[in-house]
Structure 1
Amino acid sequence: MATPLTAAAVLAALRAEGVRVVEVGSWRTHNRNQKGAWGPLNGSIVHHTVSSGTAATVRIVRDGYSSLPGPLCHGMIAKDGQVHMVGWGRTNHAGGGDPKVLEQVIAESYGTAPSKPARGNSNGVDGNAHFYGWECENLGDGKDPWPAAQYEAIVRVQAALCRAHGWTAKSVIGHREWSSDKVDPRGIDMSQLRTDVAERLKHPASWSAGKATPSTPPKETTVSTTDDRVKALHTNLLSIGEIGTTAKGTASGRIEHGAGYFLAHLLEEVRQLRADVAALKKES
């Protein structure tokens, strides 16, 4: 467990790690702290945005939607590797997740990956209080590429946080490893990402990875079936609600996880399902 880094401290940690940082507006005081606790922190979660275009994506993750106020993360990692800081404090990024996974992250006790989450946004524990959140610009369709510059930035950001807190790479997880109804970051092998973060942590923050970090990010080996995606969509639509916390930090129920966020995911999943149907028609 750790006290959250100050805005100044995280900037210093990121820049020392070689991260190119863009400060967006009043990000240092932009947060959802009025809705519950932020900290002690136990790790960092990597997400994908289901969006394209850096400027538009920055606006979305900073401002959110009418039904899901921003910020939706602490920083957005763009395709070119720049990290846009949009908030600091509690943000609407993690929602509910599995308490067993949280225990494993706290203890850094799992093998190559945490146990498969059995709880999701609607019935899990409040992740917004426990994790840093990093949205990564990607359509999340399994086809949109992850440029080397972006992947390298993801590794450096996570290494910077782990180094600052004295964590190992096992404090870094993907959203799908936290919540049973999430699939992000689709296209990234989280076990390999942790391996690459661990490699950076063996060296000074100024280290240049050279060939140690792959030029083409490894893809996840798990393939989502059409049934998997339909199930995830159904769960998302049923679970529009953020897990809030009481003053003591215990779960108090769903508050405000907004429809706009899920509609963005819904649009992309419908497109993919249509493609699946079209492919099946050609085969028949």
Structure 2
Amino acid sequence: MAKPLSAAAFLQALRDEGLKVVEVGSWRTHNRAGHGAWGPMNGVMIHHTVTKGTQNTVDICRNGHADLPGPLCHGVIAKDGTVYLVGYGRANHAGLGDDDVLQTVIDEKPVPTDNEANTDGNARFYGFECENLGDGKDPWPKAQLEAIEKAAAALCRAHGWSERSVIGHLEWQPGKIDPKGFTMASMRSRVKERLGSSSPGPSKPAPSNPEPKPSYEPFPGAGFFHGGRHSAIVTAMGRRLVAEGCGRYASGPGPDWTNADKKSYAAWQRKLGYSGDDADGIPGKASWDKLRVPKS
């Protein structure tokens, strides 16, 4: 037994379980307030819609019909597993059911056979209508069954309930057959398994192998750059100068320090805003660090 979640907490619980959720209009305030109680909450009820087509199903569940005003549930679970929120608060989904069933849900015990309709279920259960013709032939796609499992588990997790707080309409009200096409025992097993693991939280991208940080040549000192110097560092520097648009090479660059290297580096210094003696073509630490010469 629990106070109903706020609309924001309800939405967050579904999304945290990894569900794709679509908010339909002013669903947070669309309800049957004034026509009975809303809460305390005891469980989650699953239905099938006897409709075809997602948009048609969502419209009917949001608006209801002449004999039963909407909303007819809190969320519609489509064939592709998307959950459409159509109302929040009291909704016309459960109707009158068996008080013995309610007590076993509260006690989280096996559900007995329903044989009475004497208790207001609209006050006590969150309701999900699932898009299906309910003829035993219309398939239940894997994505839809997984979404039912996630939606039920999300609310059980939010309230600290076990899988025994999840029932079908057929277990609540005598004469009802929904949901038809899978058993509630199998769905409760799925919910139990999901609750047995820690909350998955929002879907996250798989971690990628981190790229190693680039390694640059430390500044070797101004004295390093003189005639006769032969080093792979000079080649790496020249390639970076070319990449920066500062290359002044007729050929190369190569490993021997030449006047072409000096002219190229002077062009890099001028590109950085240096002038006069500060653009003499001999590397200094500040300009070298900005050039980011890869380790050779």
Same fold (TM over 0.5): yes
* Alpha-carbon shift at residue 199 of structure 1 (Å): 0.5
SS at match of 2:68: coil
Count of aligned positions:
202
Structure 1 length normalisation: TM-score?
A: 0.70
Please, which runs of 5 or more residues in structure 2 have no aligned partner?
203-296
CA contact (8 A) 1:18 1:205 kept: no
| Aligned counterparts of 1:77 and 1:42: Cα–Cα separation in 2 | 21
| Aligned counterparts of 1:204 and 1:58: Cα–Cα separation in 2 | 32
AA partner of residue 161 (structure 1): L
In structure 1, the residue matched to 2:162 is 168
* Alpha-carbon shift at residue 202 of structure 1 (Å): 1.1
In structure 1, the residue matched to 2:120 is 126
- RMSD in angstroms over aligned alpha carbons? 1.1
* Alpha-carbon shift at residue 119 of structure 1 (Å): 1.5
SS at match of 1:76: strand
1:142-177 Cα distance to aligned partner (Å, 9 max, x none) = 000000000000000000000000000000000000
| Aligned counterparts of 1:75 and 1:180: Cα–Cα separation in 2 | 23
Aligned pairs for 1:36-51 (under 5 A) are 36-51=36-51
* Alpha-carbon shift at residue 205 of structure 1 (Å): 2.5
* Higher-Rg member (1/2): 2
AA partner of residue 62 (structure 1): R
| Aligned counterparts of 1:89 and 1:49: Cα–Cα separation in 2 | 20
1:62-93 Cα distance to aligned partner (Å, 9 max, x none) = 00012211000000000000000000000000
In structure 2, the residue matched to 1:182 is 176
| Aligned counterparts of 1:63 and 1:162: Cα–Cα separation in 2 | 27
CA contact (8 A) 2:16 2:201 kept: no
AA partner of residue 88 (structure 2): W
CA contact (8 A) 1:200 1:207 kept: no
What percentage of aligned pairs have identical amino acids?
A: 61
* Alpha-carbon shift at residue 33 of structure 1 (Å): 1.4
AA partner of residue 160 (structure 1): A
| Aligned counterparts of 1:83 and 1:21: Cα–Cα separation in 2 | 5
Aligned pairs for 1:140-151 (under 5 A) are 140-151=134-145
Of 112, 115, 124, 2:112 maps to 115
| Aligned counterparts of 1:109 and 1:136: Cα–Cα separation in 2 | 25
In structure 1, the residue matched to 2:131 is 137
AA partner of residue 99 (structure 1): D
| Aligned counterparts of 2:20 and 2:158: Cα–Cα separation in 1 | 17
1:108-131 Cα distance to aligned partner (Å, 9 max, x none) = 022xxx1110014xxx21100010
Structure 2 length normalisation: TM-score?
A: 0.67
In structure 1, the residue matched to 2:32 is 32
* Alpha-carbon shift at residue 207 of structure 1 (Å): 7.4
CA contact (8 A) 1:48 1:184 kept: yes
| Aligned counterparts of 2:69 and 2:47: Cα–Cα separation in 1 | 17
Of 184, 191, 204, 1:197 maps to 191
Of 155, 165, 174, 2:149 maps to 155
CA contact (8 A) 1:76 1:84 kept: yes
Aligned pairs for 1:233-272 (under 5 A) are none
| Aligned counterparts of 2:201 and 2:138: Cα–Cα separation in 1 | 29
| Aligned counterparts of 2:13 and 2:168: Cα–Cα separation in 1 | 21
Please, which runs of 5 or more residues in structure 1 have no aligned partner?
209-284
| Aligned counterparts of 1:153 and 1:126: Cα–Cα separation in 2 | 26
Query: Does 1 or 2 have the higher relative contact order (CA < 8 Å, sep 6+)?
Result: 1
| Aligned counterparts of 1:187 and 1:68: Cα–Cα separation in 2 | 25
In structure 1, the residue matched to 2:104 is 104
AA partner of residue 114 (structure 2): P
| Aligned counterparts of 1:45 and 1:4: Cα–Cα separation in 2 | 14
In structure 2, the residue matched to 1:62 is 62
